């Protein structure tokens, strides 16, 4: 944002962990996304017989016990399980596994920032099952320990032994970006030395019902920016990034994926579930992120779009994009991995932040699959169906949410 003057140290991404509908772990998820694999399938976690849509991006075969070492998975909701697993993978990827206290580091200087849309909705679904059966006596005494969304960040910190700042940011479908942004601020201001930042959400009948009632769910496939796009598809997952100051990462010889150059947050103050008709909030978030990063729109080599695949989102997102990028708007490669994963809610922009970091470090851009006919209202350079190889010096990650919460985060390459 213009005027932001407390820059502090440069912050970099040194570890990535993820649990997604196309697999687990940085390498597996990245390869699947580059290959254009789809994680969309008929919903298995509840009966969709009463709905007129049936597809979802569920995580199949996830076994938290394979990842968790401290916390008993049976004491966690599903989003917390996926978040803890992603955190473990991210720490291992960063070469910081097993550091809890063993390397002499102060766990009080290590913190967690996580985002979510719904927290642990399955816990409140169980509560409601008891309620409608008029058996409130069956409500689990652990309901109040399992349901509140901040248990996700707390569970991650408990799993990895981080005793520093602990923040849960439930800013809905932009929450992963909010968490990354907040973690950067904590590192820049010297409140922490290492932050785990990401997002998590579990598949739930509540979320599915809600989007179904909004008429937002696509019946057959998710086709962001395509002329015939018919909607989003709910998904689930988690992603966690390890963030630390550049100098510390260099000192310990860490692999650096990307630098978090800057971010912008804004609010539409317009509508709870619909974007501003002129893309006002989205524009301001992008402009702030560029200004804080000291970059011009023309410097951006890749944009990971919010790109849900609903007719309205993609059209209004394009309007905002044109307002920021001007005559460059048709030149910048854009993709939406939601075409493959569905919309993983609070995890979405965290997974997309991982994708931006990897795009910067590897010079490859995952595609938007199911893209067949360009939409004149979405006149962008959509990376269609096949991954693209090109140097990516700067990647912008855009996320928009219920409540009019907008967040853009910019990643850039770090000189060797």
Partner 1 sequence: MSRPDSTGGRGRRPVVVTGAGVVSPLADSPAELFAALCRGEGALGPVEGFSVAELSSDGGSEGNGSGPIPDLAAELRGFDPKAYLGKKNFRPLDRTGRLATVAADLALADSGWDAEARRQREVGLVLGTMFGSVHTISAFDRRALTAGPNYAKPMDFANSVINAAAGQTAIWHDLRGVNTTLSGGTTAGLQALGYAADLVAGGRAGAVLAGGADELCLESFLGFGRAGWLAGTGYGTGNGTGNGGGAAEPRPVPLDARRNGFVPGEGAGLLMLETAEGAEARGARVLARVLGYGSTFDPSRGADDASAVSAVARAAALALEEAGLDAADVDCLSLSASGSRDGDSREARGLAVVFGDRLAELPAMAIKAHLGESLGASGAYQALAALGVFAEGRLPGVRGLEATDDGLTVPSLDSAERPVAARTCLATALDFDGGAVALVLAAPATAEVASGGA
Q: Which residues are catalytic?
A: 173, 306, 343
Q: Which of 45, 209, 312, 328 binds partner 1 (CB under 8 A)?
A: 209
Closest CA to 316 of 303, 327, 307: 307
Window 277-316: contact mask with partner 1 (x via CB under 8 A): ---xx--x--------------------------------
Tell me how far apart the alpha carbons of residues 16 and 13 are, in angstroms, rounded to a whole number. 8
Q: Which of 150, 315, 322, 393 binds partner 1 (CB under 8 A)?
A: 150
E strand map for 80-151: 110-115
CB-wise, 6 or 391, nearer to partner 1? 6
Residue 328 engages partner 1 in binding (rule: CB under 8 A): no
CB-wise, 266 or 335, nearer to partner 1? 266
Bridge partners (DSSP) of residue 111 are 195
Residue 73 engages partner 1 in binding (rule: CB under 8 A): no
> How many Cα atoms occupy the beta-carbon half-sphere of 234 within 13 Å?
26
Residue 227 engages partner 1 in binding (rule: CB under 8 A): no
Window 394-413: contact mask with partner 1 (x via CB under 8 A): -------xxxxx--------
CB-wise, 161 or 326, nearer to partner 1? 161
CB-wise, 177 or 318, nearer to partner 1? 177
Three-state DSSP at 409 gives: strand
Binding range to partner 1, per CB under 8 A, among 25-33, 137-145, 301-309, 361-369: 137-145
Q: Which of 117, 177, 304, 361 binds partner 1 (CB under 8 A)?
A: 117
Residue 72 engages partner 1 in binding (rule: CB under 8 A): no
Residue 164 engages partner 1 in binding (rule: CB under 8 A): yes
Are 118 and 201 in contact, with CB atoms under 8 Å apart? yes
Closest CA to 120 of 87, 139, 144, 137: 144
Window 96-115: residues binding partner 1 (CB under 8 A): 107-108, 111-112
Rounded to whole angstroms, what are the CA distances from 209 to 42, 56, 128, 214, 316? 15, 12, 15, 9, 24
Three-state DSSP at 7 gives: coil
Kindly state the smallest distance separating residue 33's Cβ from partner 1, in Å. 27
Three-state DSSP at 15 gives: strand
CB-wise, 129 or 362, nearer to partner 1? 129
Tell me how far apart the alpha carbons of residues 186 and 260 are, in angstroms, rounded to a whole number. 13
Rounded to whole angstroms, what are the CA distances from 332 to 315, 336, 342? 17, 13, 23
């Amino acid at each position: 944002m213009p005027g932001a003057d407390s820059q502090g140290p440069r912050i970099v991404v040194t570890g990535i962990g993820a649990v997604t509908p196309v697999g687990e772990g940085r390498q597996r998820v990245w390869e699947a996304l580059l290959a254009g694999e789809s994680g969309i399938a008929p919903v298995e976690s509840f009966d969709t017989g009463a709905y007129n849509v049936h597809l979802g991006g569920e995580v199949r075969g996830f076994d938290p016990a394979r990842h968790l070492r401290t916390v008993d998975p049976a004491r966690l909701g599903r989003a917390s399980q996926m978040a803890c697993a992603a955190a473990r993978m991210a720490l291992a990827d960063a070469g910081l596994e097993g550091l809890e206290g063993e390397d002499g580091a102060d766990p009080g200087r290590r913190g967690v920032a996580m985002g979510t849309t719904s927290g642990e909705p399955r816990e409140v679904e169980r509560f409601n099952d008891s309620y409608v059966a008029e058996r409130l006596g069956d409500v689990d005494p652990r309901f109040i320990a399992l349901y509140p969304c901040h248990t996700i960040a707390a569970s991650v910190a408990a799993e990895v032994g981080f005793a520093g700042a602990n923040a849960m940011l439930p800013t809905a479908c932009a929450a992963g970006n909010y968490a990354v942004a907040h973690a950067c601020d904590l590192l820049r201001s010297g409140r922490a030395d290492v932050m785990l930042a990401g997002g998590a959400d579990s598949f739930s009948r509540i979320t599915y019902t809600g989007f179904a009632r909004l008429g937002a769910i696509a019946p057959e496939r998710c086709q962001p920016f395509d002329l015939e796009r018919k909607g989003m598809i709910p998904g689930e997952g988690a992603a966690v990034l390890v963030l630390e100051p550049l100098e510390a990462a260099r000192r310990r010889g860490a692999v650096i994926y990307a630098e978090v150059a800057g971010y912008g947050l804004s609010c539409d103050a317009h509508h709870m579930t619909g974007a501003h008709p002129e893309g006002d909030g989205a524009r301001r978030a992008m402009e702030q992120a560029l200004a804080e990063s000291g970059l011009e729109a023309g410097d951006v080599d890749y944009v990971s779009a919010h790109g849900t695949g609903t007719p309205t989102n993609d059209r209004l997102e394009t309007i905002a994009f044109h307002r920021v990028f001007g005559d460059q708007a048709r030149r910048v490669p854009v993709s939406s991995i939601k075409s493959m994963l569905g919309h993983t809610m609070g995890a979405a922009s965290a997974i997309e932040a991982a994708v931006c970091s990897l795009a910067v470090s590897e010079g490859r851009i995952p595609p938007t699959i199911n893209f067949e006919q360009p939409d004149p209202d979405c006149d962008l350079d959509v990376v269609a169906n096949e991954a693209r190889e090109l140097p990516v010096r700067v990647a912008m990650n855009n996320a928009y949410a219920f409540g009019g919460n907008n967040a853009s985060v910019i990643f850039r390459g770090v000189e060797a």
